[in-house]
Amino acid sequence: MAETGEITQTSGIYKCTKCGNEITLPAGHRVPPCSKCNNTSFRLVRATR
């Protein structure tokens, strides 16, 4: 689980737990709020590198 404002530990695709919107974030990046529903909680669905 990744929360808005946290720094990502893993590069990958994160999915909003509320609306299912998927965002790609590199490791070491601050997690933004969901651009669609403003939710602040994401689940890592697929790690990339």
- Chain residues binding Zn ion by CB under 5 A are 16, 18-19, 21, 34, 36-37, 39
When the beta carbons of 32 and 49 are compared against Zn ion, the nearer one is: 32
Q: Which two tokens stand for residue 2?
A: 């990744």
Q: How far apart are CA 44 and CA 26, in angstroms?
A: 12
Q: Which residues contact 25 (CB under 8 A, 6 or more apart)?
A: 2, 8, 11, 12, 14, 31
C-beta closer to Zn ion: residue 11 or 33? 33
Shortest CB 27 distance to Zn ion, Å: 21
Closer by beta carbon to Zn ion, 13 or else 49: 13
